[in-house]
Chains A and B, each alone.
Chain A
Amino acid sequence: MSEENQVEEQPKPLVLGKLEANYADALLAQDESRGTVVVVIRKERAYAVLEYLKTDPELAYTFLVDVTAVDNSQMESELMQFDYARFMVVYQLYSYQGQCRLRVKVPMPENDLSIASVTALWQGANWLERETYDMFGITFDGHPDLRRILMPDDFEGHPLRKDYPLRGRGERERFNFDKQNV
């Protein structure tokens, strides 16, 4: 009985050991969420770390599952952790080789909402970054075509920000029929 109750000592994930060894300066925090390793990376080093995660032959996170963002402006507990950075860009990665997932989060202070684009690493990042730009107003440096993807081109504001009113600012009554390329 006693053996069953014992919490099994999990071996430390390979990726954490490698990041600690090579990118200790970039690593802000590490966590584990429902079996997924979560690492928080400094913004300036995000591209380098993501490139390493993809190209390292042992890790080989070759599949970018998703790019999105979180607006923590109403989550005091989250805000406090990373120097009151309002947004958090989130990359979900998967490694076919290791058959494991990894979540990379990058805190973004509100006064500087630009981060290096990863389209050069994963082609699939193109539309995902456009969506993140459209919904949160985060710009991706080096993106080949950073336009809105879901909202109309003449839309103002970024609707997934927590300060955007749910019913909008009247755009659903007075949108422009002519300006849009139908």
Chain B
Amino acid sequence: MGLDFVGRGPEETDGNIITTTIDKVVNWGRKNSLWPMPFGTACCAIEMMATLASKFDLSRFGSEAIRFSPRQSDLLIVSGRISIKMMPVLKRIYDQMPDPKWVISMGACASCGGVFDTYTLIQGVDQFIPVDVYIPGCPPRPEDLIDAVLQVQQKIASGASPKGVEVVYE
């Protein structure tokens, strides 16, 4: 559970008191209850659904509470192609999510346009919204998405702020 950051209380309490910092406790809670906002626009979304379903079961990592309202979520999973008509929608959804928020760019298309080097496709969503973790692959396997969620968790546990926040406070 990642409780290794705690210290024990004084000898005479028999270890029934633990000491830590508020930040660490809050981050520990955040990291184990990420609420993803799925933004599935293409084939990658099928793999994302598989990740959420029983076989791979993202709920093992505390992230099963998929929210279709951006205002209730803190992890945006962009899975699929984003066209120039869809990008304003995605930006709006990202803006609606409350801070702190993290973004996973899933698959070749979301990360760099993939094979669709055409007039209408955004060549990487990171041109418009900050991305914390990229997943390579076309499509990535569900294990890759789980790994990305774990990387976001590591990032949260380490106390690093999300990519988006860094931009604001600079």
Residues in chain A within 8 A of chain B (CB atoms): 150-152, 159, 164-169, 171-173, 175, 177, 180, 182
Contacts and interface: CB of A to CB of B under 8 A. Distances in A.
B120 interface: yes
Interface SS of A by simple majority: loop
A59 to B, nearest CB: 39
Interface residues of B, number: 15
Contacts of A180: 85, 88
B71 to A, nearest CB: 16
A172 B84 contact: yes
12 contacts: A151-B85, A159-B119, A164-B119, A166-B118, A167-B118, A167-B119, A168-B118, A168-B119, A172-B120, A177-B88, A180-B85, A182-B92
Nearest to A176: B88
A175 B87 contact: yes
Interface of B: 84-85, 87-89, 91-92, 117-123, 127
A171 B119 contact: yes
Given A177-B91, A182-B89, A182-B92, A152 B84 contact: yes
A152 B85 contact: yes
Contacts of A175: 84, 87
B122 A172 contact: yes
Given A165-B119, A167-B119, A177-B87, 10 more contacts: A152-B85, A159-B120, A164-B119, A166-B117, A166-B119, A167-B117, A167-B118, A168-B118, A169-B119, A182-B89
Contact of A172 (B89, B92, B119): B119
Contacts of A150: 85
Nearest to A177: B88
